[in-house]
Amino acid sequence: MRAYLRSRHTLTSVLFAGAISLGASPAQATLTEFIGPPDTALSFTGPYAQVDITATSTTSATIVFTSLTTGGKTFLMGDSASADLNVNVGSGSYTLVSVTPVGPSTVGFTTPTFVSNTPGNVDGFGNFNLSLYLFDGYTNAATSVTINITSSTPIWTTDAAVLVNSAGAFNAAIHAFACAAPCMASAGALATGFAAHKIPEPTSLALLGTALTGLGIVARRRRRG
């Protein structure tokens, strides 16, 4: 009888905990993506920027774009389509709460200024429903851009649920200004172009899963042999 009561208590506790978790906000973890591939104008090796996505609740999120230095080149973000996202709105809408750009600390650069959000096509990578315009060009470019958004419906249950792929399977992009690290305003940009993050297609993920499963089976057979 005592064993039955203990089992019943355990089951009740599990169900109660599950009910709480279903109604809770998502844990504040962070999903990290890397921007690449580039368009033809950006001929340097990437990745070009890091994108950190955090769902702070089911209706609010923070996304941070950070310039990366790869192969001795740093990739600043600026001008039209400086930082772009395809926000998952479901059947609702999103609100752009704030944009905080930060520029290089070297002499000659001006503090970057957010001008407007102008959704649209980003250089062949498809349409993005959030696209930031930072004033002017290279000397006003940013090394990081922090974006805070809210959703009209509680659909951001995980970090991965904040963004959704565009028709071309991209969910984030930047307008990059490549410069020799450390970037000097007087030297100017080596090149400027666009790059985006491509979401793996479901078929590719399925094939990868199958391949990993196959490798696991082969490994087990070898150990048994």
The two tokens of residue 221 are 């057979």
Cis status, amide bond into 182, omega within 30 of 0: yes
Q: Is residue 10 part of a domain?
A: no
- Kindly report, residue by residue over 9-60, the tens digit of the pLDDT: 444 443 334 433 444 566 567 999 999 999 999 999 999 999 999 999 999 9
Q: Is residue 7 part of a domain?
A: no
Q: Is 216 helix (H, G, I), strand (E, B) or coil?
A: helix
The two tokens of residue 114 are 């957010």
pLDDT above 90: residue 74 = yes
Domain housing 128:
25-219
Q: Is residue 192 part of a domain?
A: yes
> For the chain, how many structural domains are there in total?
1
| Residue 126 DSSP code | -
- Strand boundaries in the chain, DSSP class E: 31-35, 49-57, 60-67, 69-70, 73-77, 83-85, 94-102, 114-117, 120-121, 127-128, 130-134, 144-151, 170-180, 191-198
pLDDT at 11 (0 to 100): 40
Q: Is residue 105 part of a domain?
A: yes
Q: Is 221 helix (H, G, I), strand (E, B) or coil?
A: helix
- Kindly report, residue by residue over 168-187, the tens digit of the pLDDT: 899 999 999 999 999 999 99
Q: Is residue 70 part of a domain?
A: yes
